[in-house]
Every structure is written in structure tokens, then in C-alpha cells.
Amino acid sequence: MSVLVNKDSKIIVQGFTGSEGTFHAEQMIAYGTNVVGGVTPGKGGQTHLGLPVFNTVRQAVTEAKADVSVIFVPPAFAADAIMEAADAGIKVIITITEGIPTKDMIMVKEYLSNKDVRMVGPNCPGVITPDEAKVGIMPGFIHRKGTIGIVSRSGTLTYEAVDQITKVGLGQSTCIGIGGDPIIGTTTKDAVQLLMEDPETEGIIMIGEIGGSMESEAAQWVKENATKPVVGFIAGQTAPPGRRMGHAGAIIGGADDTAEAKMRIMKECGVHVVESPADIGETMARVLGKEVVGS
């Protein structure tokens, strides 16, 4: 078991023939991911990277039985691409695109709300279940199959956590990059819940950052529902208020969305909070009572 994506997922790439889509589709295929084709409107019928190109997501679902889509479409067209995927019956939509206007995402979220679909992202590195499916832009080789689920709003900081978990000898069940935008499809709480319900996951790492209240909501949920340990970190303890720190969603608006406030709530809810991002892996090993292999 794992969550969201596995070796049986039939994955399509929207924005398949563009430069980003091509590069990352190649990487995903090289990792062994079951990519069944891609969608580029107007290029249907062609072959790209040895796989079929479809004009519409609907065709990809009908003809290639696609059930997961990863989106590399530029920001101006991304909202449309997400809604097309949802309309076609795709079950898991992973949106990598950075820079989608907030107004578009409000509309997308509303559109998806009454459909049986899960969206991850946008502005995220994607989702990986090691040795089964890499659906996104993360470097595959740092991962190792294991039992730790990782949820994070960031890209490279997720890789850092993955690397530490691999180095302490634990490995990952599924890593979910939920994205750094103010409006995202899968929240910290949603992702933590998925991993909590996954029998193969023994421990969860939850990496947040300044801005918004997602980590506090996830922590409240953990307090009431946790059956496995959660280790948490919040980036931006030294970030000044009112300034956007790279991610569109990483901005301190009030007293509740500082790193300090989130870390306090997480501690109160029983999350093992680390002060230093260098301690994520070792803390998880210690909490699980595992011996740290090497370092």
C-alpha cells in the first residue's frame, strides 16, 4: 500500500510536448513510472517519447485508461487543464505549475468540490511512492522504499527531509508535495490523514512554513486521530512579517501564522516538533525507537 500513486497508476502528462513536460516525463519514465501517454491539444495522434499524444484528457481516459494526471501546463492555461482532467474522470490530479492566479484557483477549487477527484498542488514538486511511481519533478535517486510518509509545502526542503530519512535507514512510503500557494487542492491535514490511514506508513513528517493556518488545523486533527507518530518542522522562524518569502503563500499576515505560533500549537497537539531542519531524520528514528543506521 501507499497513497495517491503506485505501480498500477496509469499516468498521463498534460503539457506533454512542452519543454518542461518532455523533460520531466522522460525522468518519470526512466524512474519506472507507468506513464501511458500525454495530452497536448492539437497534437493528438502523434507519438512523443514513444507514447501516444491525445487531444483531450477524455480521450486519454477512454483509450489509455488514464487515472492520474500530472500537469505542466503554463500558468495562464493551468486552471483550464485541471478542470478538463476532473471533467474527464481523472481521480488524482497533480499540478506542478507555479504562478497560477489566485482567482483561477478559487474557481478551480469550487469546480472540484462536488467531484470525486483529489488535486495535489499547484506549485508543488509532486508525489512519489518510491520504487513504484514518481509523479513530479523530485530527484528520484534520493528516495528509498520505506515506511515514513512525508507531507510538505516546499520542494527542496522536502528533498532534504527525504535524504535525512533515507540516511537514517528508514525510507519513505509516499512523499506528498502539497505546494506553496495560498489555495491548494490537498491541505496538510488532508495529506496527513491519507498517510495516517495507510497501513504501510509507520510515521509521518509534516513540513510547513509561515502563512495560513493549515499546519494548525492538521495538528488539531492529529491530536484527535493520531495512531502513529508525527514529526513536524515549520520553516520561516526568522522571516519578517508582511514579506512574501518566495512562495506565494509564505507570508506572515498576523500573529497566528508565524512559525512560532504554529510550532506551539503543533507541540500542544502532540506533534514532535524539531527546531532545526537538520534534525528531522534523527528525530523520526528516535521517536520510532529505531537504531540510526550511519549518518
Partner 1 sequence: MNIHEYQAKEILKNYGVAIQQGVVVESPEKATDAAKTLADQTGTGWFVVKAQIHAGGRGKGKVQETDSNGVVLAKSLEEVPEKVKNIIGGTLVTHQTGPQGKKVNKVLIAEDVYYPGESDPKEFYLSILLDRAKGCNVIMASTEGGMDIEEVAAATPEKIIKEWIDPGVGLQPFQARKVAFALGLEGKAMKEMVKFIFALYKAYESTDSSMFEINPVLKTSDDKILAVDAKVNLDENALYRHKDLAELRDITEEDPLEVEAGKNGLNYVKLDGNVGCMVNGAGLAMATMDIIKLSGGDPANFLDVGGGANAETVEAGFRIILKDPNVKAILINIFGGIVRCDRVASGVVEAYKNIGEINVPIIVRLQGTNAEEGAKIIEESGLQVTSAILLKDAAQKVKDVLS
Among 209, 215, 266, 269, binds partner 1 (CB under 8 A): 209
Is residue 19 within the footprint of partner 1 (CB under 8 A)? no
247 is catalytic: yes
The three cell numbers of residue 183 are 489555495
| Binding region for partner 1 (CB under 8 A) out of 38-46, 82-90, 218-226, 249-257 | 249-257
Rounded least distance, CB 20 to partner 1, Å:
10
- 264 contacts: CB under 8 Å, gap ≥ 6: none
Q: Residue 175 belongs to what H/E stretch? A: strand 172-177
| Angstrom distance (rounded) from CA 69 to CA 55 | 14
By CB under 8 A, residue 76 contacts partner 1: yes
Is there binding between residue 279 and partner 1 (CB under 8 A)?
yes
Q: Pick the closer one to partner 1 by CB: 10 or 115.
A: 115
Radius of gyration of the chain (CA): 18
Contact region for partner 1 (CB under 8 A) — 34-42, 58-66, 136-144, 224-232?
136-144
- Cα–Cα distances in Å, from 178 out to 127, 182, 192, 250? 8, 11, 11, 13
71 close to 40: Cβ distance less than 8 angstroms: no
Closest distance of CB 213 from partner 1, Å:
6
Rounded to the nearest whole angstrom, what is the least distance from the CB of residue 1 to partner 1 in the complex? Answer: 26
Q: What is the DSSP string of 99-114?
A: ---HHHHHHHHHHHTT
Q: Which residues are annotated as a binding site?
A: 17-20, 43, 96-98, 159
With respect to partner 1, which residue has the nearer C-beta, 7 or 244? 244
Burial 47-59 (b: 16+ CB within 10 A, else e): ebbebbbbeebbb
**Residues tagged in the binding site annotation for CoA:** 17-20, 43, 96-98
Kindly write out the interface string for residues 50-69 of this chain, putting x where it contacts partner 1 by CB under 8 A and - elsewhere: --------------------
DSSP string, 11-51: EEEETTTSHHHHHHHHHHHHHT--EEEEE-TT-TT-EETTE
Q: Residues interacting with partner 1, by CB under 8 A?
A: 75-76, 99-107, 109-110, 137-139, 141-142, 152-160, 163-164, 180, 182-183, 207, 209-214, 217, 233, 235-240, 243-250, 254-255, 259, 275-279, 295
